[in-house]
């Protein structure tokens, strides 16, 4: 029988980590939030905090030895994953597993697993480790194409390339935003999709794999701007997406929530990417479901029951962005945003700003996804981020 509380160490203390910390503490657990800068959002609600470079094996060893957590829960990509495998061998549970974390921290490994090992349909793709190599590969893939660092998050460093004249700019953007010590990019064909979706997939230590209703999302500059639930899929499309998600997550193993992304075209559902943790587009579940993605992640990690995942009704999220760099943050318009029924906000508590940095999210419910999207976007537009 499970005994609580447990001690959880969250590696990555952003807004997603913050909501996970809150979920964990509601069930009495102790949480240590770790990130590369102080006063990160999850640190503001955690029991303890540590500021380290998670690419440093020595720093990781120091904080893990100090706190002796039961679980290590990565929330970002830039982590020395070889060290996680060592911790796992010493009896600390890594979520979902050290192997899965190693695979999913890099787009090349997860893409090769999906396409080459599991035989799943993906966009045509190739890799490059230099500008010269990328210029050659770009011609083979054809235009338009999408270029991404193999190691990044939230669309950072991603760009659409329409001609050979844009290749060098895309290379520089990808390398500038690459996390860790990677100098490698992935070039993939542009899929003329009708819809991008995230299928939140919950893998349990024991018990069946579960799914949340599909989430539609829209990106700009490679980063999520709004999401809505449920996304409009045919029963056949949903069944296909669930089968692909189950195949990939079963191959990775472990337990927890996975954000599995797909392109949906008129003819097929195509695997895109996967994150082994709560997904930014899944913040809509903070208002849409009986159990949000952070609560589901926690329950799967701790082997707690998930008897039901139910959707309250159509819902949407819209991001609140900063427009300039500043060393302090304040907000105006919160009272206007909250004046409508069915609207809620999350302001993340990030200590500073930069252009397009995500500082909060507006959440809304309505009678249809279209109305929920309108309401969420209206609420987000009321909130001004000020220095």
Catalytic center residues = 153, 155, 261, 273, 280-281, 358
Partnered with residue 194 across adjacent β-strands are none
Q: CA-CA distance, 134 to 145, in Å (whole number)?
A: 12
Report the first-to-last Cα separation within the chain, whole angstroms. Answer: 50
Tokens read off for 192: 């003329």
DSSP 151-202: S-STTTT-EEE-SGGGHHHHHHHHHHH--TT---EEEEEPP--SEEEEEEEE
Q: Specify the DSSP element, H or E, that contains 48.
A: strand 48-51
DSSP 222: T
Query: How far apart (Å, rounded) are the C-alpha atoms in residues 329 and 350?
Result: 8
3-state secondary structure of 318: strand
The Cβ of residue 58 has, within 10 Å, a number of other Cβ atoms equal to 10
Q: Which whole-number Å values give the CA distances from 78 to 42, 75, 293, in the listed order?
A: 17, 9, 22
- Distance, in Å, from the CA atom of 73 to the CA atom of 98, rounded to the nearest integer, reads 10
**Which residue carries 């701790």 as its tokens?**
302
Helices (H), the chain: 15-26, 57-67, 81-89, 98-104, 107-112, 131-141, 167-177, 235-252, 285-288, 293-301, 334-337, 369-382
CA distance 92 to 85: 9
């Amino acid at each position: 029988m499970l005994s609580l509380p447990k001690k959880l160490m969250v590696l990555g203390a952003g807004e997603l980590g913050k909501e996970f910390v809150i979920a964990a503490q509601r069930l009495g657990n102790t949480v240590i939030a770790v990130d590369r800068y102080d006063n990160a959002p999850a640190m503001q609600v955690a029991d303890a905090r540590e500021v380290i470079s998670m690419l440093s094996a020595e720093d990781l060893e120091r904080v893990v030895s100090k706190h002796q957590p039961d679980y290590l829960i990565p929330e970002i990509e830039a982590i020395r994953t070889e060290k996680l495998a060592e911790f796992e061998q010493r009896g600390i549970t890594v979520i979902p597993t050290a192997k899965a974390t190693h695979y999913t921290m890099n787009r090349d490994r997860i893409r090769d697993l999906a396409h080459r090992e599991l035989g799943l349909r993906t966009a045509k793709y190739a890799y490059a480790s230099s500008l010269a190599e990328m210029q050659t590969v770009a011609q083979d893939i054809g235009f338009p194409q999408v270029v991404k660092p193999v190691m990044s998050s939230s669309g950072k460093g991603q760009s659409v390339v329409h001609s050979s004249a844009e290749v060098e700019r895309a290379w520089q953007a990808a390398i500038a935003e690459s996390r860790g010590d990677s100098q490698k990019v992935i070039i993939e064909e542009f899929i003329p999709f009708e819809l991008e979706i995230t299928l939140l997939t919950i893998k349990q230590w024991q018990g069946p794999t579960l799914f949340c209703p599909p989430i539609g999302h829209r990106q700009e500059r490679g980063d999520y701007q709004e999401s809505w639930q449920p996304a409009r899929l045919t029963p056949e499309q949903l069944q296909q997406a669930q089968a692909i998600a189950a195949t990939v997550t079963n191959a990775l193993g472990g337990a927890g929530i996975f954000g599995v992304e797909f392109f949906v075209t008129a003819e097929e559902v195509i695997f895109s990417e996967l994150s082994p943790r709560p997904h930014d587009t899944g913040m809509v579940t903070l208002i849409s479901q009986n159990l949000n993605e952070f609560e589901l992640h926690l329950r799967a990690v701790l082997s707690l029951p998930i008897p039901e995942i139910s959707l309250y009704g159509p819902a949407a999220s819209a991001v609140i962005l900063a427009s300039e760099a500043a060393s302090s943050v304040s907000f105006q318009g919160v009272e206007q945003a909250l004046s409508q029924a069915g609207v809620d906000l999350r302001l993340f508590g990030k200590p500073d700003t930069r252009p397009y940095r995500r500082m909060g999210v507006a959440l809304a419910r309505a009678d249809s996804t279209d109305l929920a999207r309108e309401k969420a976007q209206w609420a987000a537009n009321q909130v001004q981020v000020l220095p």
